[in-house]
Structure 1
Amino acid sequence: MEPLLRGEGSGGRRDHARGIFRRSDAITYGSNYEKAAALVDLAEDGVGLPEQILDSSSFQSSSRYYFIFIKCNIMWSLAYFALIVLNFLERPLWCENYTKPSCSDREYFFLGQLPYLTNAECLIYEGLTVVVLIIHTFFPISYEGSRIYWRNAINLLKVFCLLVLIADMLVYAIYLSPAAFDFLPFRVAPYIRVILFILNIRELRETITILSGMVGTYLNVLALGLLFLLFASWVAYVMFEDTIQGKTVFTSYGATLYQIFVLFTTSNNPDVWVPAYKYELYSLNLPGASRWYCLYFIIFVLLGVYFVTNLVLAVVYDSFKSELVKQVFEMDRMRRAMLEKAFNLLDTHSTGYLNKDQCIRLFEELNKYRTLPKITKEEFELIFDELDDSRDVKLNKDEFADICHAIALKFQKEDSISYFEYLPFYNSPTSKQLKEFVKRPIFGYLVSFLLVLNLVAVIIETTGGYM
């Protein structure tokens, strides 16, 4: 594998002469610095070739197909966006049950103002989109290989959803044909489209992954909240059984549970406990004797709203944070694998470090790629100094692993020359007098006077009709 990556055959000089500016060209037949720059750029993306491909003999051919794939990212994104938009453009099936008023009457059915496509237009629209989705779904096999592709659970889920979408589209096409069945209860396509959209948008997929990891903790907290509501409802039902509250509001345990649940959201507070506070007991004809029952509601609100709710929020947040840490750790591991491959490409003599000249040459190549911020020549040494924690004027693998973060740093720059200084009149005597006048306090006083004068003029104009 090393000769494949490090060797620069007889065509290397020709390739360098014509200039290599594309990431795919650099990995396929570029110099070691151009290959390393492409890998560093991939590491910053957060996505890239599978880790198993990096050490395989088919790395160069796989990378070529991979970059063809990412060049079409705009087309893939538009296809999934079109798939979601179709949910708003196709007429719902239940609309066929209404002739008067029809779904076209938007004042009766609040379905938005977008025009509906006909059934034939929907099929053509969805068919063209599905063709693009099929290409997008199975194209990764060309650079990952079938063995890696089918071992990925996300890929399997994408293929399953795509098959369900195709099957649903075929059933709908048969339903629209004249000689077919005349009843179709529902379509699963609108829901599958949303699932496919989530599966193919990395940020959404990562968010769903985090939420799925929180399910166990969330169920435990949900059980705690339900237990609290069940116990509080039982206490309320027993306590207010012979009172006005029990006769009018807490008439059964089910009604009590519902009212206590609504009270947990404070939507019916304090209306729900007004009868218990305002009226006397049925059993004791003593005015105001039942007003002590308001303590139950006060304690419930204090415990439910200010303790249980905060406890649920704290537990859910802690679970979210732990799942996020796992995800960040996995992304950092993948980035480190990419950067280690780039480091090995530059460390041709296996010394275990890179010197300053090697890093500066790498920075120069990095300016040709799209992801990382552009690096000025003045920042080359600043970035190297930031990476060189040991201050030995060379970088080891651990120091090199922070290269993406170091490049993203904003260094304090010296004041640049203003564009006005290039104009001829900037240094003229009149211009110098004007600059001196602006720097004086009297200029600020003059501006303040004009603002106050403008305020007086506005007041006079707006109140002139009433005077």
Structure 2
Amino acid sequence: LKVLLYFFILVDLSLALFEEPAVVPLPSWVTMLVELLCLLVFTLRLIHYAKVIPRDKFWKDPKNICIIVILLLTLVDMIIYGALKAANCYGVRWSRVLRPLLLVNVTEGRQLRRAFRSIRNALPQIFYVFLLFMFSVLMFSLMALKLLGKRGLTTIEGAPYFTSYLEIVFDLYVLVTTANSPDVMMPAYNASFVFAIFFILYILINTYIFMSVFLAVVYNNYKKYLKEEVRQLVRAKRHKMVRAFAVLQEQKEEGGEPVVSQASWNQVVHLVQPDISNAHRELLWSVCDDKNQGAIGKVAFVQLADLLNIEVITIKSRPHPLNSLCPAFYQSAPSRLLCRMVQHRAFVIVYDLIILVNAVFIGLDEENPMIANSEWVFLALYMLEILLKLYVFEPRAFFSRHSFWNWFDTIIVVSALVATIVNSAMKSSGGYTSRQILDIVFILRVLRLIRVVDSIKRFRTIINTLIRIGPAILTFGQLIIVVYYIFAMVGMELFKNKVKFYEDTSDPAKAYCGNPLLKGTAFAQLNYCKNNFNNVVSSFILLVELTVVNQCSGFATVTHMSARIFFVIFHIMVVIVIINIFVAFVLEAFFVEYSVDKSDLQTSLEKKIEELELAVAQYVTVTTLGANFCCQPLWTFMTNVSSDIFPCFIARILKGKMSII
């Protein structure tokens, strides 16, 4: 149901590709029919949700009210737009800006709503800092007007320099983004080097100090509200666990404290996590019932939710297929020597050196025959590495779903081999001029260098942290898309077809980005014509550029100076607020990664595995499936544990998670 809902949300958002101004134009009745279908699906989902929760709770939930309002406004807009089109009148689909809000307010968009709450919580403090920042900009602008306005200076385009106060305010605001640096200061600097001090002080105060203060304020508020939200969630979780204990509790003996029996506990765990293995469940029970009483009290039961949050991966120990097919050969002295060589640290170091040499060759001239032929040597070495490791390590363990680097390297190497063979075959056939396959080969060659990251412990820690916060990064990605989509819809209505891109500019009608107002401007001279709002794809690309630099002079030239307000608001929303909140989140994630110790439950789980004589160790740099391929240590399995209850376990303790293999 969740996948289906998000599919229709994606379809609804994608309609902008086919609506005016369109990438691929379709008749308006087609897009409206598809949108009507999407609205029907959203309505059915809302009705379904209303059936499963109390009516008073449904109508008190703001997100449900928001969805209802969006659906009604969209329907009204479609009716009005259809009537205007039928009467051959110009119409605007103003409800398109509401589409991404469905992504926020659907029941499944909980994480995205939390991100928006982070923005809402940070806004009051950001507002006060922003007022102080704007006061500084206004003061410097007034100072610039008095210092430079009467000196008769001109810009490189011949326009008067710093004679209009509003122009100065905007130019200095853009200077904070460094988009117009050093252009904005050059006329004054050319007049006297003393004026450079003015701009240096401005950049120091507003670009470095105030922008850092924005980040500090956002981070401080983010951390404060994050702690409060986590505290509320923990309190609610414990309250619900206590209520569950009250339902399941039994009186073990007269006058004794209430307990939950193992049978009831097993039923609860089976209902909560039906896919959990018997071995995993027995292990968790051993941690809860550390005194082997056959029942647990309230404290141990309440900890069950935290215990289930510790990621545990179980894989049964399997012999290598070659060991089963030809044991005499696989257990021979040369074979064991080869296995020890592949598992040795020197093997890892040798291939790290090969990767570095390969990096040097990639940077050299591809047309040199020796350089071109060396690619086959490196591919052969990489394939040999994969085959050797498949010989040493059990293939199913080697390609387990948690062995990211194994999959990454194998896919990259095999893809590079296939692409190189195809490229060579097509070149030898003659008449091959396309660079598409060659571009793929070049990309795959560079991607191979990433594998060296796994060999360095510090790099691996950073990568593991990025992988763990990946879902949250995707949440902020959705947040950015929501804001981009809204601004793209507004931008297309304001600026569509004002700036056009033509590959052939020899025609006078196509010069200056198709708009005579841009004649002589830096926008046209620098050929920024493709930066426009003529369709949703171009709009998104332009908004990405504006996230880095806020240069919008061309659009103000072809419309009105007030158009700059649109771009300033975008910069405030995306760069000052959202990007700073995202940076605050990444900072907090890395602080937690480097500072948080293992929890008591993780320690208890580790001790219990040791008591059961299962191999336990910390995450180390020595690897069983080869450095550059995986991060799982090599262990000697204990043999005196019943394989019916416990498969062979290897514990890998990560900060915040434990993996048992």
TM-score (norm 2): 0.46
Structure 1 counterpart of 2:2, from 73, 79, 84: 73
Structure 2 counterpart of 1:266, from 169, 178, 201: 178
Structure 2 counterpart of 1:316, from 214, 218, 224: 218
Alpha-carbon contact 1:245-1:273 (below 8 Å) kept: no
In the alignment, the residues of structure 1 paired with residue 45 and residue 343 of structure 2 have an alpha-carbon distance, to the nearest angstrom, of 64
CA shift in 2, pair 1:170/1:293, >3 Å: closer
Alpha-carbon contact 2:322-2:330 (below 8 Å) kept: no
CA shift in 2, pair 1:367/1:118, >3 Å: same
Post-superposition shift, 1:381?
4.5
Post-superposition shift, 1:166?
2.1
Cross-structure match for 1:140: 49
CA shift in 2, pair 1:358/1:461, >3 Å: same
Alpha-carbon contact 1:237-1:246 (below 8 Å) kept: no
Unmatched segments (≥5 aa) in structure 1 = 1-71, 96-110, 280-289, 369-373
In the alignment, the residues of structure 2 paired with residue 188 and residue 271 of structure 1 have an alpha-carbon distance, to the nearest angstrom, of 38
Alpha-carbon contact 1:343-1:400 (below 8 Å) kept: yes
In the alignment, the residues of structure 1 paired with residue 347 and residue 134 of structure 2 have an alpha-carbon distance, to the nearest angstrom, of 68
Structure 2 counterpart of 1:199, from 99, 105, 110: 105
Alpha-carbon contact 2:250-2:259 (below 8 Å) kept: no
Post-superposition shift, 1:223?
0.9
Structure 2 counterpart of 1:405, from 298, 306, 325: 306
In the alignment, the residues of structure 1 paired with residue 314 and residue 169 of structure 2 have an alpha-carbon distance, to the nearest angstrom, of 65
Matches within 5 A, 1:159-170: 159-170=68-79
Alpha-carbon contact 2:121-2:225 (below 8 Å) kept: yes
In the alignment, the residues of structure 1 paired with residue 171 and residue 280 of structure 2 have an alpha-carbon distance, to the nearest angstrom, of 65
1:302 and 2:210 aligned: no
- Mean alpha-carbon deviation: is it higher for 350-359 or for 340-349? 350-359
Instruction: Classify the secondary structure of the residue corresponding to 1:291.
Output: coil
Cross-structure match for 1:212: 120
1:293 and 2:222 aligned: no
In the alignment, the residues of structure 2 paired with residue 271 and residue 353 of structure 1 have an alpha-carbon distance, to the nearest angstrom, of 75
Alpha-carbon contact 2:250-2:258 (below 8 Å) kept: no
CA shift in 2, pair 1:367/1:324, >3 Å: closer
1:339 and 2:245 aligned: no
In the alignment, the residues of structure 2 paired with residue 385 and residue 167 of structure 1 have an alpha-carbon distance, to the nearest angstrom, of 61
Cross-structure match for 1:19: none
Cross-structure match for 1:54: none
Alpha-carbon contact 1:244-1:276 (below 8 Å) kept: no
Cross-structure match for 2:65: 156
Alpha-carbon contact 2:176-2:207 (below 8 Å) kept: yes
Letter aligned with residue 268 of structure 2: L
In the alignment, the residues of structure 1 paired with residue 232 and residue 172 of structure 2 have an alpha-carbon distance, to the nearest angstrom, of 44
Instruction: Classify the secondary structure of the residue corresponding to 1:354.
Output: strand
In the alignment, the residues of structure 2 paired with residue 412 and residue 194 of structure 1 have an alpha-carbon distance, to the nearest angstrom, of 37
In the alignment, the residues of structure 2 paired with residue 151 and residue 249 of structure 1 have an alpha-carbon distance, to the nearest angstrom, of 57
In the alignment, the residues of structure 2 paired with residue 464 and residue 365 of structure 1 have an alpha-carbon distance, to the nearest angstrom, of 59
Instruction: Classify the secondary structure of the residue corresponding to 1:251.
Output: coil
In the alignment, the residues of structure 1 paired with residue 25 and residue 63 of structure 2 have an alpha-carbon distance, to the nearest angstrom, of 33
CA shift in 2, pair 1:390/1:174, >3 Å: farther
In the alignment, the residues of structure 1 paired with residue 236 and residue 58 of structure 2 have an alpha-carbon distance, to the nearest angstrom, of 17
Unmatched segments (≥5 aa) in structure 2 = 359-365, 374-661
Instruction: Classify the secondary structure of the residue corresponding to 1:134.
Output: helix
Cross-structure match for 1:101: none
Alpha-carbon contact 1:353-1:395 (below 8 Å) kept: yes
Post-superposition shift, 1:311?
0.6
- Mean alpha-carbon deviation: is it higher for 428-437 or for 77-86? 428-437
What is the root-mean-square deviation in Å for CA atoms of aligned residues?
A: 4.1
In the alignment, the residues of structure 2 paired with residue 215 and residue 159 of structure 1 have an alpha-carbon distance, to the nearest angstrom, of 27
Cross-structure match for 1:224: 132
TM-score (norm 1): 0.63
Cross-structure match for 1:417: 318
Q: C-alpha offsets along residues 126-154 of structure 1, whole Å, 9 cap, x if unaligned? A: 22222222111122222223222112222
CA shift in 2, pair 1:197/1:347, >3 Å: same
Structure 2 counterpart of 1:119, from 28, 50, 68: 28
Q: Percent identity?
A: 19
Which entry has the higher C-alpha Rg, 1 or 2?
1
Cross-structure match for 1:462: 370
CA shift in 2, pair 1:268/1:384, >3 Å: same
Alpha-carbon contact 2:148-2:162 (below 8 Å) kept: yes
CA shift in 2, pair 1:303/1:438, >3 Å: same
Alpha-carbon contact 2:188-2:196 (below 8 Å) kept: yes
In the alignment, the residues of structure 2 paired with residue 258 and residue 460 of structure 1 have an alpha-carbon distance, to the nearest angstrom, of 52
CA shift in 2, pair 1:401/1:238, >3 Å: farther
The count of corresponding residues between Structure 1 and Structure 2 is 351
Letter aligned with residue 423 of structure 1: S
CA shift in 2, pair 1:309/1:275, >3 Å: same
CA shift in 2, pair 1:250/1:410, >3 Å: same
Letter aligned with residue 197 of structure 1: L
CA shift in 2, pair 1:411/1:219, >3 Å: same
Letter aligned with residue 208 of structure 1: F
Post-superposition shift, 1:438?
0.9
